[in-house]
Amino acid sequence: MDPIPLVVVGTVAYDTIRTPMGAVSEALGGSATYFSLAAALFTRVGLVAAVGEDFRDEDRQLLVDRGVDITGLQTYPGESFRWVGEYHGALDEAHTLETRLNVLTQFDPVLPPTYRAPEVLFLAAIDPELQLRVLDRLERRPRLVACDTRDFWIEHTRPALLRVLERVDCVLINEGEARLLAGDHNVVRAAQAIRRWGSFDLIIKRGGYGALLFQDASVFAIPAYPLEDVVDTTGAGDSFAGGFLGALLREPTRVRKALVLGNVVASFTVEDFSVRRLATLTWSEVWRRYLEFRDVVRLEDL
């Protein structure tokens, strides 16, 4: 069997979400789910995650149908990870009402043989101790290791998270998490503080305001794709990361193009609840919106 080029470790979850546009209960979610569905538009992606015996066959099938390799999806006795959250106003910030770790407390992320030498590894939001364990289980260091986290892990497992930051090439977090991590409300100062914990490029996702890339001494900013109807922003960050790293794997030197493609994939995710939009998204839809986005940000020559 060929090695899998892009591997993600993270959560596969059942989410209960309320937004001003409606609500869903026990809908498929999780950081690794959104990431892998987005990345599968670009490349072969393998998912390492834990689910409980309650994980639905139709959800497993959806991942397979979309081309995600689920050899690394492990089933444990008990219930899948659950997250309950809500959004207000412009849906820029998720408010966690409940996090039930369930099978995550037993999860030992075993890497199937084809997952041990990926070109790119994404440590999606999950317990940083598990992110570290995955790094220790690789046969060789990937060309690129990137990570994300969430408020929950910043608050509960900060020392382990700082050890993860020392070992990655790229960190993707949202603005609220950057502020929480750095203890500074100014996003540029927060970025500077966070970058002192390692030697990585930093991408700060700013919801409806786009994203910032801090790389070496430069900053690159992109706006969000202007959308009329935003239904549920859950998973936007992970879809962004999936599109970004999937595109970067195909064209390693085109970081800005990859960022825009990540942004475009995320813009589809937020058009519906859960993974509904990602479940039907096609490459030609992504490409069409990418071309539109280029027009949106085109500057006149000086």
| Residues making contact with ligand AMP (CB under 6 A) | 11, 13, 15, 29-31, 34, 83, 99, 125-126, 150, 152, 234-238
Name the residue whose CB lies closest to ligand AMP: 29
Residue length, the chain?
302
- Residue pair 218/291 in contact (Cβ under 8 Å)? The answer is no
Quote the least distance from Cβ 109 to ligand AMP, whole Å. 13
Q: Are strands 73-76 and 45-52 parallel, antiparallel or unpaired?
A: parallel
Quote the least distance from Cβ 163 to ligand AMP, whole Å. 17
Report the candidate in 219, 154, 146 with the shortest Cα–Cα distance to residue 183: 154
Quote the least distance from Cβ 293 to ligand AMP, whole Å. 20
- Residue pair 25/5 in contact (Cβ under 8 Å)? The answer is no
Quote the least distance from Cβ 113 to ligand AMP, whole Å. 26
- For residue 158, the SS3 value is helix
- Residue 246 vs residues 29, 163, 183: alpha-carbon distances, Å: 19, 25, 31
Give the DSSP per-residue string, 208-255. Answer: GG-EEEEETTEEEEEPPP--S-----TTHHHHHHHHHHHHHHHSTT-H
- Name which of 11 and 267 has its Cβ closer to ligand AMP: 11
- Name which of 116 and 209 has its Cβ closer to ligand AMP: 209
Quote the least distance from Cβ 249 to ligand AMP, whole Å. 20
- Name which of 273 and 290 has its Cβ closer to ligand AMP: 273
- Name which of 43 and 234 has its Cβ closer to ligand AMP: 234
- Name which of 38 and 248 has its Cβ closer to ligand AMP: 38
